[in-house]
Structure 1
Amino acid sequence: MAGRATRLWHSLSTVHPARTVVAAFAGVILLGTALLSLPLSSEQSGATGFVTSVFTATAAVCVTGLTVVDTGTYWSGFGEGVILALIQVGGFGIMTMASLLALLISGKLRLRMQLTAQAETKSLGIGDVRRVLIGVAGITAAVELAVGAVLALRFRFGYGESVGEAVYLGFFHAVAAFNNGGFSLHADSLTRYAEDPWVTLPIAAAVILGGIGFPVLLELLRHRERRRRTGRRGWSLHTRLTLMTTAVLLLTGTVLTCLLEWANPRTLGSFDWDEKLLNGFFHSAMTRSAGFSTLDIGAMEASTLLMTCALMFIGGGSAGTAGGIKVTTFAVLGVAILAEVRGEPSSGILGRRLAPHVLRQALTVALLGVGLVMAAALVLLTLVEARVEAVLFEVVSAFGTVGLSTGITADLPVSGQLVVALLMFVGRLGPVTLVSALALRERTRRYQLPEERPVIG
């Protein structure tokens, strides 16, 4: 039995880098569950139940923000510290964190660790890993410190919090925002700050920066240096596609949220026009994968919930802290559809032709995502009596590691909460990564099958 377990662990940790990433995330979730189960982690008497602990640990590591208990009142200071650490590790990347620590301690990385770090950070090559790790750490620290400082000052002088409490609130929400975690120390999330741009805008900025992905952030920071050294102009296709699609989705979400909720007295209806625009933009930014809310999600119109589901399913940028199928996947599929409608032999955008395998990857990611969402929604609908749109919203929020909720998650039965936790895990890792990790072996076909063209449509 011991030999079989050893062989299984060897298969998970050495055969395929994706398997190491999956095993690492699962291991950290189990560790977080054990820590949150300790009596000192909660304000309640006795140990926390397994389901509550594993759900919270999964939500934190997968930077989702869905909760079954109120974070600020249920968990003790130790428990909140554990949650914050899990958010940071999950958002930063477990293998990225491990590789960075090894780099700091020993000054070098073994090939296997470079491969797993490369698989998680989506770095272009082995030679880029060291540079990417240091860059990711620097960006993370800079954004979290800057946003945390702004929030701490606002909480101190705008709301009269003590210095210690203001600093704690500021940096907790800054870490959760940049990592797209969505955990808040307030029971109403950020509803009490709905009219305060000094709180909502810094948090939205951190969410957007974390959500566009580290490769894009690194390229933006190093573009001027590379241009001066090589004379090359312009960003890569990935960066341009990510920025353009993110901007379009942010604008679309803001406009639709304002239009659909403008007169709803339970959401935007009670605000002035400028506050409506502020909260419409904030809601659109949170659908990138953040999970904070200044509006009552359960009181939104069904049309707004459907629109929000679409944005959450798309998510943010690749190799960042956001979830979903990613904006580049969405853009590639849109380009492929447009090319097919026009009858063009290949798909191209921004002066570049897309490789066929990129289209296959995008289609695989999207269809696996749709299948997982539909399957999970079907299971939950058999377990609970709730509106279809509410269940679908909760499922998409879990898959996209968003954390926005209509309020039904805490009322789900144990089996339903475990389904949502599993969906968060799959959503954080990505369907393709998980499928690749679970594959028994890679196969290379040494022949071509005869070509056939079935009727489509």
Structure 2
Amino acid sequence: MSVGGRSAGLRDRLRDRPPGRDGLDRLARQSPARLAIGVFAAVVAVFAALLSIPAATATGQRAPFVDALFTATSAVCVTGLVVQPTGTYWSTLGHVIILVGMQIGGLGVMTLASLLGLAVSRRIGLTQRLLVSAETKTGRLGEVGSLLRIVVLTSAVFEVAIAAVLIPRFAMLGESWGDAVWHGVFYAVSAFNNGGFVPTAEGLDPYVSDWWVLLPIIIGVFVGSLGFPALLNVLTLWRTPRRWSLHAKLTIVTSLVLVVSGALIVAAFEWTNPRTFAPLDADATVLASLFAGVMPRSGGFSTVDVGQMHEGTWLLLDALMFVGGGSASTAGGIKVTTLAVMLLAIVAEARGDRDVEAFGRRIPREGLQVAIAVSLVSATIVLVASLAMLAVTGLTLDVVLFDVISAFATVGLSTGITSTLPDEGKYILTVLMFVGRTGTMTLAAALALRSRRRVIRYPEERPIIG
């Protein structure tokens, strides 16, 4: 083909581009985070509109807008906080809408958008690769296409496996096969995506001592909260743990430490509490403690009334929820690697080491700066939201702080105040869930991308600290 022919062909292709495509590509290149947040907000709006349909409620009456918006945000942000009881207030259609919202939120809106583009065009363009790279923390754009297939396949395999274990158990406990299949699928999706929603009025309380029901949910929540980068790295190199990436090692080690220590401390605080663990036998108490140690990672399920726990347990759960799960996972919080990097920096400073090191690797100073920034900004958001909630609700600080952190970290545990909140309080938690799901990831990416070398450096002088 001649040069003129190629030029004419290029003009034809440019003329055939869909209207607005250039602007969308320009926005994706200049501010992918802004585009991602916009898409995420649009998805929340769609699900809020769907939950506003009268058929979405059990009574057939239209849900108040604030309740529909709150529930849609909670589902898409895979939080699990509710202002109306999920099992009784929403109809089967409402449950399906919530289930789909959790699945979309778990995979990530950017990932899902790229998957749709892949299904239509059979290949991924540069814009979609950039967006998915930001969502999944994948460094090489050429790997994104195959990674997307693995992400969806991995999610499907784990969800099917969890459902396959739960369905026969629910049937054995007296449910019809139709109900058993529906509940098994719902809990599988809710667990792996750290959604925290339950499809029945009684929730998981009747299964407080049932290992067959709770253990698959525990595993699903834990695996889903690790994050796809760590999970795929482990699955690929499971025979040679020494070759795991630093990110995978930090994520798994820190997660296990938090789960074990959290379960032990919860058991110590609640062992003699007559309103939670005291009526349980030893075996059930062990299971309930393990369950309570895993759920603050962002699972949001509970087998005992969280509102009846001791204040000391609330404070512990506050800390665990604020940390959350792994990066690029279905979990919220500041992320376990953020905590690990800051703790390693403290150890290095105490030893007088110039470098922050772990597992034979040196962590760059920029990583520590991002970790500190994310932690301080997150703490500031929680502080401001808590002050606002105290002003509009008149509730005490302990319950307000618990539910604020739960919303920000997209956990879903609650002391029981959400159903009694005024509309202003519901809107505050709604914004907090959205910011918690998108804000910390966007902030971390923005700070990481702003790294630059300066030609001129000022003289160094250390101020007195501490």
TM-score, normalized by length of structure 2? Answer: 0.91
Cα deviation, residue 378, structure 1: 0.8
Q: Partner of 1:337 in structure 2?
A: 346
Confirm or deny: 8 A CA contact 1:381 1:388 kept in the other structure: yes
Confirm or deny: 8 A CA contact 2:204 2:302 kept in the other structure: yes
Confirm or deny: 8 A CA contact 1:298 1:407 kept in the other structure: yes
Distance, in Å, in 1 between the alignment partners of 2:458 and 2:231 is 45
Count of matched residue positions in the alignment of Structure 1 and Structure 2: 445
Is the counterpart of residue 179 in structure 1 residue 193 in structure 2?
yes
Cα deviation, residue 341, structure 1: 1.8
Q: Partner of 2:59 in structure 1?
A: 44
CA 1:322–1:443 in structure 2 vs 1: closer, same or farther (change >3 Å)?
closer
Partner-residue secondary structure (3-state), 2:297: coil
Is the counterpart of residue 217 in structure 1 residue 231 in structure 2?
yes
Is the counterpart of residue 374 in structure 1 residue 386 in structure 2?
no
RMSD: 2.2
Structure 2, unpaired ranges of 5+? 1-19
Partner-residue secondary structure (3-state), 1:348: strand
Distance, in Å, in 2 between the alignment partners of 1:267 and 1:254 is 14
Q: Partner of 1:114 in structure 2?
A: 129
CA 1:52–1:396 in structure 2 vs 1: closer, same or farther (change >3 Å)?
same
Partner-residue secondary structure (3-state), 2:206: helix
CA 1:211–1:435 in structure 2 vs 1: closer, same or farther (change >3 Å)?
closer
Letter in 2 for 1:297: V
Q: Partner of 1:413 in structure 2?
A: 422
Q: Partner of 1:450 in structure 2?
A: 458
Distance, in Å, in 1 between the alignment partners of 2:441 and 2:234 is 27
Q: Partner of 1:135 in structure 2?
A: 150
The runs of at least 4 aligned residues of structure 1 exceeding 4 Å deviation read 5-14, 434-437, 441-447
Distance, in Å, in 2 between the alignment partners of 1:188 and 1:407 is 14
Cα deviation, residue 57, structure 1: 0.5
Q: Partner of 2:113 in structure 1?
A: 98
Confirm or deny: 8 A CA contact 1:12 1:23 kept in the other structure: no
Considering only CA atoms, is the larger Rg found in Structure 1 or Structure 2? 2
Q: Partner of 2:364 in structure 1?
A: 355
Cα deviation, residue 436, structure 1: 6.5
Confirm or deny: 8 A CA contact 1:207 1:285 kept in the other structure: yes
Cα deviation, residue 310, structure 1: 0.4
Cα deviation, residue 12, structure 1: 5.0
Counterpart pick for 1:74 among 89, 92, 109: 89
Cα deviation, residue 173, structure 1: 0.8
Distance, in Å, in 2 between the alignment partners of 1:45 and 1:127 is 49
Distance, in Å, in 2 between the alignment partners of 1:145 and 1:252 is 30
Q: Partner of 1:236 in structure 2?
A: 245
Distance, in Å, in 2 between the alignment partners of 1:298 and 1:235 is 40
Q: Partner of 1:150 in structure 2?
A: 165
Distance, in Å, in 2 between the alignment partners of 1:385 and 1:435 is 34
Distance, in Å, in 2 between the alignment partners of 1:410 and 1:258 is 28
Distance, in Å, in 1 between the alignment partners of 2:247 and 2:49 is 40
Is the counterpart of residue 272 in structure 1 residue 310 in structure 2?
no
Q: Partner of 1:301 in structure 2?
A: 310
Confirm or deny: 8 A CA contact 1:426 1:434 kept in the other structure: no
Cα deviation, residue 323, structure 1: 0.7
Cα deviation, residue 11, structure 1: 7.0
Partner-residue secondary structure (3-state), 2:237: helix
Distance, in Å, in 2 between the alignment partners of 1:206 and 1:32 is 25
Cα deviation, residue 76, structure 1: 1.2
Is the counterpart of residue 425 in structure 1 residue 434 in structure 2?
yes
Confirm or deny: 8 A CA contact 2:385 2:404 kept in the other structure: yes
Q: Partner of 2:11 in structure 1?
A: none
Aligned pairs for 1:59-70 (under 5 A) are 59-70=74-85
Cα deviation, residue 6, structure 1: 11
> Identity across aligned pairs (percent)?
46
1:114-135: CA deviations, max 9, x gaps?
A: 1001111111220121121111
Confirm or deny: 8 A CA contact 1:317 1:326 kept in the other structure: yes
Letter in 2 for 1:185: P
Partner-residue secondary structure (3-state), 1:145: helix
Confirm or deny: 8 A CA contact 1:22 1:434 kept in the other structure: no
Counterpart pick for 1:254 among 240, 257, 263: 263
Q: Partner of 2:4 in structure 1?
A: none
Counterpart pick for 2:45 among 26, 30, 33: 30
Partner-residue secondary structure (3-state), 2:307: helix
Letter in 2 for 1:172: F
Cα deviation, residue 412, structure 1: 1.2
Cα deviation, residue 307, structure 1: 0.2
Deviates more, 1:338-347 or 1:28-37: 338-347
Counterpart pick for 1:282 among 272, 285, 291: 291
Distance, in Å, in 1 between the alignment partners of 2:254 and 2:298 is 15
TM-score, normalized by length of structure 1? Answer: 0.93
Confirm or deny: 8 A CA contact 2:370 2:444 kept in the other structure: no
Cα deviation, residue 222, structure 1: 1.2
